[in-house]
Structure 1
Amino acid sequence: MSAAANPLLALAEHAATWRARPLPPNLAHHARRALVDWFAALLPGTGRAPASLMAVALAAERGEGGALCYTDGKRGAPRHAALLNAAAAHTVEFDDIHRDSGLHPGAPTVAAALAVAQDRGLAMEHLLRALVAGYEVGCRIALAVQPSHYRHWHTTGTVGTFSAATAGALLLGANATQMGNALATAATMAGGLQQAFRGEGMSKPLHPGHAADAGLLAARLAVAGVTGAPDVLHGPVGFAAATSDSTGDWAKALDGLDRDFAIAAITFKNHGCCGHIFPALDGLGALRAAHGFGPEDVESIHVGGYRATQELCDRPNAATEQEARFSVQHCVAALLHLGGVRLAAFTPEALADPTLRATMPKVSVSIAPDLADAYPRRRAAYLRVALRDGRVLTHTQPNRKGDPEDPLSDDELSGKFRELVTPVLGAAETEARLDALWQGTALPG
């Protein structure tokens, strides 16, 4: 079957070209932005559950190799490092998003690519190439199955497996045929259920961890000669059919292939919570800047959003850190009282703060049908804030800070890095690491 008739072959052939084709400076820069953001999300997650618990539980399985496990600073086998690092990078909910597909590509893709690159002693350029390819394949596969895929599946756990397999296979020297086999094998090992993070538990960060691990397994097997089913993406009982309401919109997914690159259209998070809450937070910030009210002035706040805002994030009684990161009510209260939704918003003290708890019942959420219809390419919110003095303020937030229409600048991305990493590494080491990520030719250690 030709690549024109088979999306897996088309994506595999494209991905394999990144071994040798010229790397445009703008794409190299976007890949560095993704790397800076990944480390910003990773390092505060290394000392937290579940990655910290995983590092202890799996210590005997570290294996031999040069891949660095950032949870404890020791080196080991690439799959081991990728598993732990990807989980850590998703823990504090600051990792990147491809808005149009709903995939968080960074956590699994960078973890897998960096582990292989470190183990093989490769240069920064090889890593950047792998990130461009991995983001491209994963985001396009996610486009083919969304938005229905997200009703039951966590896209980062499922489609992240393809991203990791692509990046890993490229760094292992895969040709187009081997790349196709890596993707085919990745398809049958992808997983990650929505229900796993709609309540308590630590499963959500395990999803990108498993995706990175399974993706590297698929890549290594393909390079060794293991084959997969070439119609596994679009076949009648293939990946798309099993995880969405069709066999996939592959025309949409492949539109602009080799012209419009996913890594150049990534959202970098400006808040430390679920991205479906961002429009509400940005809109509330705009209202406060315009009208100058404080938390004590608020009678009620209503958020009209798209379906995921209400279905995933309407949690008026959130009590745990995991629940709070997916609670419009907690995050709105934190923005009002703490001035931002950063790491401090999810400490035990903040979760128990009586002033935040008293504000949460004032916040309600509903689905706005027009916003639901525009999802996922548009992530917007309607806000209605009733104040104690009788004023009623309304605002339409058309997008999110950090989205392609309103991106974080390089300086803002560096500021995010400093904020999240300095408490872990200290100021001097943070600056050295940041400079190396922006300018260095050697791999980060």
Structure 2
Amino acid sequence: MPSSISDSLAGYICSVRAADLPEEVTRKAGLCAIDYLAAAWNAHGVELSTAYTDYAASMAGKTIGAAHVIGDGQLPPIWAAFANAAKGHVTETDDGHRQSIMHIGVVVMPVVLALAQERGLSGAEMLEAMICGYDLAIRAGECFGPEHYATFHTTGTAGTFGAAAAAAKCCKLTHEQTVWALGHAGTQAAGVWQFLQDGAVRAKPFHPAKAVQNGMQAALLAEAGIAGATRIFEGDKGICAFAAPKPRFEALTDRLGEHFKISEVNFKAYPTCGQTHSMLDATAAIMERESITAADVKSVEANVYQRAIDIAGIAEPVNLEQAKFSNQFCLAFLLTRGALTFANFTEDVVEDAAVRELSHRVSLKFDAEMDAGFPASRPCRIVVRCKDGRVLSQENRFRKGDPENPMSAEDMQEKLEQLTGSLLSPSQRQNIVSWALDLEHRAAVEPFLFTICDS
């Protein structure tokens, strides 16, 4: 009989075997690997990404490490993972999960890749660590709930548990050590939303980067024999006592080992905050159905849930990072340009006077009915008032890339091409896809995951 929630979770982590995983779970993990690598490579050369990588290199000193930073040399594993987590989050193209309200690949994949290089892990072992990391991150986020997300960035908090679980599996920790690792993770879990209110969007990638670093440190502390809290979730002074007003402890163990949370992951169809996507989908549906453009539009009203306003309601973005967190700007861009893609939403968009002018005619309105559907879905109702008097509307609940409206392997390959087309060759992209979709049978990581190849 498990003595604590962490005891149950540790038993699960230690028991996961690649050979026992359902085929559809293994397939989804491969798509998650493609998605993470596409996001990280997309950030290569971006000034903000370079800043995080340079910081990691400065902290590592002159040490030449055993793990690659994607596109940028080698560092000690814990600093390579830090840099790769930041890279994967810089351009807002990484995967997510609705109910836990977080990004997962960016707190799991950097850990797995770094430790796989240091410890010579096989593809099957990497797959096992991915499954454990995704499961623990999502389950922790679901436990913490939307009340937690109101103040905390769940990617940073719950993500620390995902990183710790992945690291524990990579390090082959014992059951007891895995319990300790989860305790150490909870002690370090952090990340609050104040940076958004203060216009410091560039700080957002620091949250997954620190989650990755803290999760790895948690596992390494446990490996070193340093005991950690054994009731980190439910204890009187555990993480839920201060960070989760309405903890859902059952979410941590419900169908544990039977239902794999990675199957619920969604992929982004746009390079913007996930709290803009449902609104973009609904607006695009109106545009296609009614054949309208910005020239036809008098005003747009987006009836949305509260978090869409809180997280993605920046009315006057001053740079690309802020524009990605502005429903007003994103909807105006879509209407003005006809499409919002990974290729056309670039730094210069904030200087587009036509987009800026139309964004002033886009309003966000809290809708209690929409709010009641969050976070199980991302509901919205878009109302477009046209200059000719027409009033056009469209409701939407599930975004392109959600499990209910999934992106296929072909869609993911196209996303990889859009995000890396100017950087990686077709053959390198194909190598990445083949490696990810056959991860269980691969012997190890490959150079083409981290360095630009000529062919």
TM-score category, normalised to shorter length: over 0.9
Structure 1 residue 443 and structure 2 residue 445: aligned? yes
Rounded Cα–Cα distance in structure 2 between residues aligned with 1:158 and 1:444: 31
Which residue identity is paired with 1:417? L
Rounded Cα–Cα distance in structure 2 between residues aligned with 1:8 and 1:21: 24
Over 3 Å counting, the alpha-carbon distance change for 1:59 and 1:251 in structure 2 is: closer
Which residue identity is paired with 2:43? G
More off after superposition, 365-374 vs 160-169: 365-374
Rounded Cα–Cα distance in structure 2 between residues aligned with 1:57 and 1:315: 28
Superposed CA RMSD in Å reads: 1.6
1:13 alignment partner, one of 11, 14, 26: 11
CA drift at 1:14: 0.7
Q: After superposition, what is the alpha-carbon deviation per residue over 1:120-146, rounded to whole angstroms, capped at 9, x for unaligned?
A: 122211111110011001111111111
Report matched runs for 1:86-101 at 5 Å.
Answer: 86-101=85-100
Q: How many residues align?
A: 441
Rounded Cα–Cα distance in structure 2 between residues aligned with 1:87 and 1:342: 22
CA drift at 1:426: 3.2
SS at match of 2:365: strand
Which residue identity is paired with 2:329? H
Match for residue 308 of structure 1?
A: 307
CA drift at 1:393: 0.6
Report matched runs for 1:198-209 at 5 Å.
Answer: 198=197, 199-209=199-209
Gaps of 5+ in 1: none
Report matched runs for 1:242-253 at 5 Å.
Answer: 242-246=242-246, 248-253=247-252
Structure 1 residue 147 and structure 2 residue 149: aligned? no
Rounded Cα–Cα distance in structure 1 between residues aligned with 2:327 and 2:394: 17
More off after superposition, 311-320 vs 83-92: 311-320
Structure 1 residue 287 and structure 2 residue 286: aligned? yes
Gaps of 5+ in 2: 448-455
Rounded Cα–Cα distance in structure 1 between residues aligned with 2:388 and 2:345: 31
Match for residue 38 of structure 1?
A: 36
Contact 2:343 2:418 in 1 (8 A): no
CA drift at 1:200: 2.8
Rounded Cα–Cα distance in structure 2 between residues aligned with 1:414 and 1:19: 27
Rounded Cα–Cα distance in structure 2 between residues aligned with 1:105 and 1:255: 19
Contact 2:160 2:212 in 1 (8 A): yes
Over 3 Å counting, the alpha-carbon distance change for 1:142 and 1:349 in structure 2 is: same
Match for residue 159 of structure 2?
A: 160
Identity of aligned residues (%): 30
SS at match of 2:232: coil
CA drift at 1:428: 3.4
More off after superposition, 125-134 vs 52-61: 52-61
Which residue identity is paired with 2:20? P
Contact 2:102 2:155 in 1 (8 A): yes
Match for residue 372 of structure 1?
A: 371
TM-score w.r.t. the length of structure 1 is 0.95
Q: After superposition, what is the alpha-carbon deviation per residue over 1:255-309, rounded to whole angstroms, capped at 9, x for unaligned?
A: 2212211111100000111111111100011111111001110111100111111
Rounded Cα–Cα distance in structure 2 between residues aligned with 1:42 and 1:366: 34
Match for residue 257 of structure 1?
A: 256
SS at match of 1:146: helix
SS at match of 1:90: helix
SS at match of 2:204: helix
Contact 2:18 2:127 in 1 (8 A): no
More off after superposition, 329-338 vs 192-201: 192-201
Report matched runs for 1:211-230 at 5 Å.
Answer: 211-230=211-230
Rounded Cα–Cα distance in structure 2 between residues aligned with 1:372 and 1:241: 26
TM-score w.r.t. the length of structure 2 is 0.93
Q: After superposition, what is the alpha-carbon deviation per residue over 1:52-110, rounded to whole angstroms, capped at 9, x for unaligned?
A: 112223324163442111141x2231101100000000010010011111121100100
Contact 1:124 1:443 in 2 (8 A): yes
CA drift at 1:331: 0.6
Over 3 Å counting, the alpha-carbon distance change for 1:355 and 1:20 in structure 2 is: closer
Which residue identity is paired with 1:280? M
Over 3 Å counting, the alpha-carbon distance change for 1:53 and 1:321 in structure 2 is: same
CA drift at 1:438: 2.4
